[in-house]
Chains A and B, each alone.
Chain A
Amino acid sequence: MYGDLALQLVTSSHRSTLSTTPQLPLPKYALPLILSICLETRQLGQSITSAAEQHGQVSLSQDRSLVCNLTVQHLSARRNKRCLLAYLSTRVGGIKERWWDSGGSLAYLLSPSSSSTMNNSDPSAINSSESESAGDLRNNLSPQELDFLRGYNNLMIDYKSDFLDVLDLTSSIDRPPSELMVDVRVLKDAGEVVLEGGEKLDFRKGERFRLNRSNVERLIVQGYLEEV
């Protein structure tokens, strides 16, 4: 029946929202399904148009049976559109979530190693077709979604800039800060890093520091530092 494919799309998307992972899972973009839904919708559109041409105005206002049929087709087409947009919209939410969680680091998000540290990847599920692919974010997003991510990154860079002289908008807001300092060990070389107050430090692997939490949160998220 019309709308069945769209229902599949929405159901699978909904299932991902029920996941208990810290972030919304972003499985591979369902391109084949989306193309099929768009095709079905175009066919509905053509069917409606040709019926309208074929029957003329009089029939359209008087033949209730015809109107009913066309109504069903029309509703089905609209339903498909809604399902498509809801699917895209939900994924957009997941994409934005990842951007904020990474502290706004686009390069980190798009690098191949990012997803394995950020998602709870279950090794046994890697080969199952249902599970979220352990591949990187870059592979799972459609080209349009990647464009969106880049565009959003640009938007946020602009917005952040107004506040940057005083604070970094993308620092975590999970809970209000209770301790000022945190002990960290450097896991991989990060080179010279400029901290929020202007101080410069050389982060070499193996070194330990005691720093303001706000300065190093992002580096912890990205795996350069670990809390000791």
Chain B
Amino acid sequence: MSFFDDEDDDPLSPPTRPAPNENYGMRASSSREGSVSGSSSFLDRLRSTVSPPPAQSHSHNERSRASASIFDESNTSISGREYGGSILGEGEEEEDGMGLGLGLGQGLEEEEDEEDMNDVKRLGKIWVRERGTPELGEWKGELIDQVFDKLEQQQKMVNTLRSDPQTSEEEHFKLMLVQTEMERVKYLVRSYVRTRLHKIEKFAHHITLSTDMHHLLSGAELSHARRYTELLHTHFQHSALDSLPEWLRKMDDTYGDGLSMVSKPNRNTPVLIYCRKDCGEITLEGGERAALARGTTHLVKYKLVDRWINLGWAEVL
């Protein structure tokens, strides 16, 4: 029923409505042109209060500062680059995607292309991926912008209809459902952003030092990484390091046994994936080979399949 459904299925639309339809059609509303006639469903009324989709470049929008990547999004070549990131958020409940209706791991028969998915579903998958991988994924600024635009539109529409004295009780109830869905989408965005923030702060120093990672972060995230690193290091200096011998005051020591003061994500972390496409074979430790065929599920070290995950060919569960 979601307003976010770009497809035109419309479970809210009452199949046969008695006379009241006429009334809907008659209501004077400045936002509705006369073109909407008696067959208007509730959804039509909702849509009619909404402004047309905004232009692609939303440069005046402050949020673009948060969502703009430094590099072009198309610049994701697959090389042996070291990414940074970490794993799950602090003390949050593990959410299966099912409760939010995200349809994870489904679609064996359908060839579900990325483009066909609506924004919320896509956000859902990105969210699961971010929570399920040790490294930081790419910031999906464009998607977030689109979701935000829809949220804003929907809020406007809800506000308009709520204050309209002619809105029926049934419609008010449906508005509540719309609002509930909005809250759930906001939850998704919040959780996505905060999962990333957690990883960014955990590996802030590493991120600051690794310029090849910077394209993965939004402008605001990168700025946060730098400033957080500085804040933390200043704290350590004032609390302890300044009171230690000079040769012990650095924050980037690496020791003989491989231990480093700069925390990096553990690429050996296992990850549960479902192959949406055939990803060929990988070689496991001990020489064994595993076929990542379409439709198969695997529990495997992240570093062996990160390429497929980032391409979207393997879906994180």
B235 contacts A145, C-beta separation under 8 Å: yes
A111-151, CB < 8 A from B: 142, 144-145, 147-148, 151
Q: Which of A45, A162, A166, A175 contacts B220 (CB 8 A)?
A: A162
A173-B187 contact given A151-B231, A162-B66, CB 8 Å threshold: yes
Q: Which of chain A's residues has its CB closest to B221's CB?
A: A159
Select the residue from A42, A84, A93, A96 with max chain B CB neighbours within 10 A.
A84
B311 within 8 A of A: no
Q: How distant is the Cα of A152 from the Cα of B197 in the complex, in angstroms?
A: 13
Q: How distant is the Cα of A159 from the Cα of B89 in the complex, in angstroms?
A: 18
Stretch of B33-41, B147-155, B274-282 contacting A (4+ beta carbons < 8 Å)? B147-155
Q: How distant is the Cα of A38 from the Cα of B242 in the complex, in angstroms?
A: 9
B215-273, CB < 8 A from A: 220, 224, 227-228, 231-232, 234-236, 238-241, 243-248, 255, 261
* Total A-B residue contacts, Cβ distance less than 8 Å: 133
B245 contacts A42, C-beta separation under 8 Å: yes
B190 contacts A171, C-beta separation under 8 Å: yes
B152 contacts A166, C-beta separation under 8 Å: yes
Q: Which of chain B's residues has its CB closest to A85's CB?
A: B236
B194 contacts A169, C-beta separation under 8 Å: yes
Using Cβ atoms and an 8 Å threshold, which residues of chain B touch A18? none
A41 contacts B62, C-beta separation under 8 Å: no
Q: Tell me the minimal C-beta distance from A97 to chain B in angstroms.
A: 6
Q: How many residues of A contact B (CB 8 A)?
A: 51
User: Quick one: CB contact mask for A146-166 with B, threshold 8 Å, 1 for yes?
Assistant: 011001100100110111011
Q: Tell me the minimal C-beta distance from B86 to chain A in angstroms.
A: 13
Using Cβ atoms and an 8 Å threshold, which residues of chain B touch A161? 62
B65 within 8 A of A: yes
B92 contacts A173, C-beta separation under 8 Å: yes
Select the residue from A42, A93, A144, A158 with max chain B CB neighbours within 10 A.
A144
B210 within 8 A of A: no
Interface residues on B, range: 35 or more
B247 contacts A45, C-beta separation under 8 Å: yes
B21 within 8 A of A: no
Using Cβ atoms and an 8 Å threshold, which residues of chain B touch A201? none
A188 within 8 A of B: no
A34 within 8 A of B: yes
B116 within 8 A of A: no
B180 contacts A165, C-beta separation under 8 Å: no
B58 within 8 A of A: no
A147-B235 contact given A155-B224, A163-B193, A176-B184, CB 8 Å threshold: yes
A92 within 8 A of B: yes
Using Cβ atoms and an 8 Å threshold, which residues of chain B touch A142? 239
A59 within 8 A of B: no
B146 within 8 A of A: no
Q: How distant is the Cα of A148 from the Cα of B62 in the complex, in angstroms?
A: 27
Stretch of B22-30, B48-56, B93-101, B103-111 contacting A (4+ beta carbons < 8 Å)? B93-101
Q: Which of chain A's residues has its CB closest to B191's CB?
A: A173
Q: Which of B65, B95, B190 contacts A162 (CB 8 A)?
A: B65
Q: How distant is the Cα of A158 from the Cα of B223 in the complex, in angstroms?
A: 10
Q: How distant is the Cα of A49 from the Cα of B194 in the complex, in angstroms?
A: 46
A148 contacts B231, C-beta separation under 8 Å: yes
B179 within 8 A of A: yes
B240 contacts A84, C-beta separation under 8 Å: yes
B189 within 8 A of A: yes
B190 contacts A173, C-beta separation under 8 Å: yes
A212 contacts B179, C-beta separation under 8 Å: yes
Q: Tell me the minimal C-beta distance from A196 to chain B in angstroms.
A: 9
Q: How distant is the Cα of A179 from the Cα of B187 in the complex, in angstroms?
A: 13
Using Cβ atoms and an 8 Å threshold, which residues of chain B touch A96? 201
A187 within 8 A of B: no
Using Cβ atoms and an 8 Å threshold, which residues of chain B touch A145? 235, 239
A174 contacts B93, C-beta separation under 8 Å: yes
Using Cβ atoms and an 8 Å threshold, which residues of chain A touch B235? 88, 92, 144-145, 147-148, 151
Q: Which of A44, A80, A151, A180 contacts B176 (CB 8 A)?
A: A180
List 18 other contacts, CB 8 Å, given A38-B243, A214-B186.
A38-B244, A42-B245, A45-B244, A45-B246, A45-B247, A49-B245, A88-B235, A88-B239, A145-B235, A147-B238, A159-B197, A159-B220, A169-B190, A171-B186, A171-B190, A173-B89, A175-B95, A179-B180
**A–B complex contacts, Cβ < 8 Å, 17 sampled:** A34-B239, A41-B245, A42-B243, A46-B245, A49-B245, A85-B261, A88-B236, A145-B235, A155-B228, A166-B152, A174-B93, A175-B93, A175-B95, A176-B95, A177-B180, A177-B187, A180-B176
- Interface residues, chain B, with chain A CB atoms under 8 Å away: 62-63, 65-66, 89-93, 95, 99-100, 148, 151-152, 155, 159, 176, 179-180, 183-184, 186-191, 193-194, 197, 201, 220, 224, 227-228, 231-232, 234-236, 238-241, 243-248, 255, 261
